[in-house]
Amino acid sequence: MASRIRISARPRGHTAGLLTIGTVAAGVVNYAYTLLMTHRLTTSEFSVFAGAQSLVLVVGIVSGAAVPWVLARESAVAAVQQDTVRLRQAINFAFWANMGVGVVASVVTGAIVASFGSSVDALLVAGTSLVLCVASTGLGLLQGRGRTTALAALVVSEVVVKFGVGLVLVSRSQPSAGGALGGALAGACVLLVALGPAARCIGLPRSLHTDRSLWRAAGRIGVLQVGVSVIASLDTILAAALPSLRGAAAGYQLASTIGKVPMFISSAVSTAVFPTLVPGNAFRGRVQALRLYAVTSGFIWLALLTAPGDVIRGVFPADYGSITQWLPYTASLGVALGLLNLLTTFVQSRTTPGHSPPSSGFTAIAWALSSTTAVMVLGAALDGVRGLAIGALSAGWLAAWLFGLLATERRALGAVPWRRSGRVRRAVLMAAVPAVMVVARPVPALWFAVVLAAACLVAVAAFPEFRAFADRVGRGAARSVGRR
């Protein structure tokens, strides 16, 4: 039965557009869920929910990168070589490795949540961590096959179920962080559907001891990804865990959650581009990914900074009125974290079973993690929430700068600016967008219209598949006019 598993004739090229759209749609639902919880939960309960959700985010990023990315690379190679044995071994390894990682993650996250939440909160987060890790095997196989549409559908389905179940639990019980976290567990279970295509290749773990090269590759990727995830979530975790900030930083935690949209965009781009970063095409892939991220994250940053204050204050309860004060900090932090995530993806792409990453990557993440922790803790101790916001912003860009100093990443960053005349004109056109958004800010309806139009422009400019679609539509319209 296992030998009949289908291998695609060739892995598909990275089409990050659909996956990014799916990620954005999932983000919209996720932020609507967070908005709902600001109305349903007290500020103290929301602080627990935000801190626990940050831990789940860490597990989600790590579980979706370390072992699954190794599986993605192995499945892509197996597809080219038509090697079913290699694919079966990689899938079996990935499943049991993820099971082990899930057990460790559930214990660690449960223990952390127990320090500032209830035992129910801790159990729910532990269960969510385990499910995310186990399901990531199927996601890695889809990634290696270039099934970005299926990945996008699963990402959206997860948050929709999370929203629905969480709403029911919070509405039918005493409003608490546990109800909101129960929705997250239900949503994570949706991802188990991805295990279907891989189930036939999952056997006993007896062969894991022979997969030393896969263990090394997964471990190296995992170390880098754990570091990035901790840096990305550290500010909201500290806001929930530090006694001096607990309950008083709910507005900052909400702003931090919203401001990290660019990191989710970066994760979608990384997921799509990682299997294609192979020798001979890696530099071009890195530059394309950086250009895509620069355009999309720049637009999101502008949208967050120009969002009408009255609209923001009208959407969230009065207890979170300070969000407008912290959003400029967290929006800029989100851009830095997304860049950091993308740069570490480039380092991880050089981590294959036969090819170790440069030691400078591990040095950079060690320095980044230690310095960001120190800066955030020191900032919180000196100036409370404001100190934490300044410290987090400084730490995020410091971490991105450390990885930008690495040779291959520095070379790719230097090639990001467009030099061809057509692309220069496009860049000039997009430079006019900030001015229009600022002018439209006093009129919320006009601002929304400008943002929607700019989003379409960004999609066409950044993603090749959308640009090709727009070209086809334009040619079709031109032919219709010509017939008349």
| Res 212: pLDDT | 65
Q: Report yes or no on 230 lying in a domain.
A: yes
Beta-ladder partners of 352: 355
The pLDDT of residue 483 is above 70: no
The pLDDT of residue 10 is above 50: no
Length of the chain counted residue by residue: 484
| Mean residue pLDDT across the chain | 77
Q: Report yes or no on 468 lying in a domain.
A: no
Cα 260–Cα 264–Cα 265 angle in degrees, nearest 5:
110
| Res 355: pLDDT | 46
| Res 209: pLDDT | 53
Lowest mean pLDDT among 53-62, 78-87, 113-122, 237-246: 78-87
The letter for the amino acid at 235 is D
Q: What's the domain count of the chain?
A: 1
| Res 385: pLDDT | 86
Lowest mean pLDDT among 110-114, 271-275, 318-322, 354-358: 354-358
CB atoms within 10 A of CB 137: 29
CA 159 to CA 236: how far, in whole Å?
20
| Res 80: pLDDT | 60
Per residue in 92-121, pLDDT (tens digit) is: 888 888 888 889 989 999 999 998 888 899
Per residue in 139-159, pLDDT (tens digit) is: 877 777 767 778 778 888 888
pLDDT band, very low/low/confident/very high, at 6 (cuts 50, 70, 90): very low
Could you identify the residue written with the tokens 């061809």?
Answer: 420
Q: Report yes or no on 440 lying in a domain.
A: no
351 vs 393: which has the higher pLDDT: 393
Backbone region of residue 280 per phi and psi (left: phi > 0; alpha: psi in -120 to 50; beta: other values): left
The pLDDT of residue 30 is above 80: no
pLDDT band, very low/low/confident/very high, at 2 (cuts 50, 70, 90): very low
Q: Report yes or no on 100 lying in a domain.
A: yes
Q: Can you give the residue range of the structural domain that contains 117?
A: 11-194+211-417
Q: Report yes or no on 96 lying in a domain.
A: yes
* Rounded average pLDDT over 361-387: 87
CA 330 to CA 394: how far, in whole Å?
11
The pLDDT of residue 211 is above 80: no
8 vs 62: which has the higher pLDDT: 62
Element (H, E) at 455: helix 444-462
The pLDDT of residue 81 is above 80: no
Cα torsion angle, 462, 422, 304, 405, sign: positive
CA 180 to CA 316: how far, in whole Å?
17
* Rounded average pLDDT over 448-466: 75
The pLDDT of residue 290 is above 70: yes
pTM for the complete prediction? 0.71
Lowest mean pLDDT among 205-209, 241-245, 292-296: 205-209
Q: Report yes or no on 448 lying in a domain.
A: no
| Res 239: pLDDT | 83
At how many degrees (to 10) do helices 323-348 and 282-306 cross? 180
| Res 236: pLDDT | 83
The pLDDT of residue 224 is above 50: yes
| Res 32: pLDDT | 80
Percent of the chain with pLDDT over 70: 75
Per residue in 380-438, pLDDT (tens digit) is: 888 888 898 899 999 889 988 988 888 777 787 877 775 554 555 555 666 677 778 88
The pLDDT of residue 465 is above 80: no
Three-state SS at 352: strand
Q: Please provide the DSSP assignment of 391-453 as one string.
A: HHHHHHHHHHHHHHTSHHHHHHHHT-S--SHHHHHHHHHHHHHHHHHHHHTTSHHHHHHHHHH
Give rounded-to-5 percent helix, strand, coil for the chain.
Answer: 85, 0, 15
CA 69 to CA 75: how far, in whole Å?
10
Element (H, E) at 226: helix 212-241
Q: Report yes or no on 426 lying in a domain.
A: no
Q: Report yes or no on 359 lying in a domain.
A: yes
The pLDDT of residue 351 is above 60: no
| Res 125: pLDDT | 92
Per residue in 183-200, pLDDT (tens digit) is: 889 988 998 888 877 777
